[in-house]
Structure 1
Amino acid sequence: MNKEELKAFLDVKVEEYNSSNFIATDPISIPHQFSNPKDIEISAFLIAIIAWGNRKAILKSGEKMLKIMDYSPYDFIMNHSPSDLKACDGFVHRTFNATDLNFFLNRLQQLYQSHDSLEDFLLNNHKTGQLQLTLHHFKHNFFSIPHEKRTEKHLSDPLKNSAAKRLNMFLRWLVRKDKNGVDFGIWKQIKPKELSCPLDVHSGRVARKLGLLNRQQTDAKAVKELDTKLRQLDPQDPVKYDFALFGLGVFEQF
């Protein structure tokens, strides 16, 4: 396919998979249970952090986290006491366990005590066009207080050549907004054109078959290469093609 044919093909797939019909089986269904922006960003962040592996298992673990927070994420984050965190005992999702969840909940409480939103904290010193650098600083700042070393692995760092799929997915959810109602678009300080594609094994395989990606490793360099190609197809909203790449890979085994 030439560039025009490829764009037309992918645009059709975006419309097919960027649909509310797919919310129920996707991790984004967890924050879709809320209308308050702070509930949305907290639940979106936590479910994105554990969004790897079997999707049914991810949703099951997401519901467990919501139950721990009494289905009121912002209120829980702001008001929980150490005794409330006993509810985390026994929590495990793959390598993310109760120790990790305890730290994340406590750290979020500290952040919201000094920042109006997670957006404000993440975007401290953000410069337009340097979002992956911003994610690097976000991880550094998030772990700037005492913590178990093992917990660091649950936030990726693009400057260490990670594709940072889950963080880029989280940003897509909160920054993008269109008529289809999947992504929330509640964060306004980042433009959709700055976003990077949440690259994983499935989307990477499809991207390579379509000639959008040559690099074989699924890493930060591959994300940069794919971003360049997708921005040629839609400079203002390149990561809308995540829907197409994901749908083709997971649902169509393209």
Structure 2
Amino acid sequence: MPLSELKDFLDDKVIQYNNSSFIETDPVQIPHLFTIKEDAEIVGFLAATIAWGNRKMIINNAKKMVALMGDSPYDFVMNHREHHLEPLESFVHRTFNGIDFITFIKSLQHIYQNHGGLETVFAKHQEHNSLQPAISQFKKVFFEAAHLPRTKKHVSDPLSGSAAKRINMYLRWMVRNDNSGVDLGLWKSISPAALSCPLDVHSGNVARKLGILTRKQNDAKALAELDAQLRLMDAADPVKYDFALFGLGVFEGF
């Protein structure tokens, strides 16, 4: 299929899936629960971190995280005492457990106290057409706080070969303003043009069938290949095609 025809096809799919009804079954609904920027970006980061497995379970467990923070995530992160963390010990989502959750709370506090917050860290290290180096630097900053080695696996590093699907999804939520009520567009210091597709098994398989991805593994090299193709279709908003690829894979079994 010629690139122009493929673009028209995918543009139609973006319109089909990038709308408010998408929120009902997607973890993006978690940051939509809050109106204060810091609340939304914190719960968004936590929800994205556990976004693997059954989507209903992801959403339910993300809501449990919110409840364990007293429905006031930014206040909890900034003002908790050690005894406030004890209820978090019971949390578990697949391999992400209470120890990891507590470490994330302390690391988030470190980010806000010493680095100006989540947006500031990502924005500081962004490049013209890529946030992958910024993700790698974010991981270094995030784990400046005391942590167990086991917790580091829950933050991906693109410079170590990962496609960093969950963080790229989180960045889409925070940066992209789609005017359709799905992505929140809270961060104004990062351009949507620098975003990358949250590459997973669904979007990867669809991209291969469409001929815009040849690499078999869903890794950093595959992401770079897919990014290049999506930017040919829309350099200003390449990650909008995540809705098309994901929708075709999950909802249509393409």
TM-score of Structure 1 vs Structure 2, range by shorter chain: over 0.9
Q: CA deviation at 1:145?
A: 2.8
What is the CA distance between 1:163 and its match in structure 2? 0.4
- What is the match of residue 27 of structure 2? 27
State the Cα distance separating 1:137 from its structure 2 match.
Answer: 1.0
Q: CA deviation at 1:130?
A: 4.0
What one-letter code is carried by the residue in structure 1 that aligns with 2:210? Answer: L
Moved more, 128-137 or 32-41: 128-137
Q: Percent identity?
A: 57
Q: Which residue of 2 aligns with 1:243?
A: 243
What residue is the counterpart of 1:219 in the other structure? 219
Q: Which amino acid aligns with 1:40?
A: A
| Structure 1 Cα separation of the partners of residues 127 and 80 of structure 2 | 34
Superposition deviation, residue 52 in structure 1: 0.4
Per-residue deviation, 1:92? 0.4
Report how many aligned residue pairs link the two structures: 254
Residues 222 and 125 (structure 1), Cα distance of their counterparts in 2 relative to 1, 3 Å cut: closer
Query: Which piece of structure 1 moves more, 83-92 or 224-233?
Result: 83-92
Matches for 1:9-28 after TM superposition, within 5 Å: 9-28=9-28
- Distance, in Å, in 1 between the alignment partners of 2:4 and 2:125 is 38
Q: How does 1:13-162 map to 2 (within 5 A)?
A: 13-162=13-162
Runs ≥4 residues deviating over 2 A:
114-117, 121-130
1:123 is paired with a residue of what secondary structure?
Answer: helix
Q: Describe the SS at the equivalent of 1:89.
A: helix
Give the alignment's TM-score, normalised by structure 1.
Answer: 0.97
**RMSD in angstroms over aligned alpha carbons?**
1.0
Give the distance between the partners of 1:125 and 1:35, measured in 2 at CA. Answer: 26
1:125 and 1:165, CA in 2 relative to 1: closer, same or farther beyond 3 A?
closer
Unaligned runs of 5+ in 2: none
Supply the AA of the counterpart residue of 1:11. Answer: D
- When the two structures are superposed, what TM-score results if normalisation uses the length of structure 2? 0.97
> 1:129 offset after TM fit, Å?
2.9
Task: Supply the distance in 2 between the matched residues of 1:153 and 1:14 (Cα, whole angstroms).
Answer: 32
In structure 2, the residue matched to 1:174 is 174
- CA offset digits 1:69-93 (Å, max 9, x no partner): 1111111111111100011121100
Runs of 5+ consecutive residues of structure 1 not aligned to the other structure: none
Q: What's the offset of the Cα at 1:10?
A: 0.3
Q: Distance in 1 between matches of 2:229 and 2:191?
A: 18
Deviations 1:71-120 (A, max 9, x none): 11111111111100011121100000000000000111122122432111
Aligned match of 2:206: 206
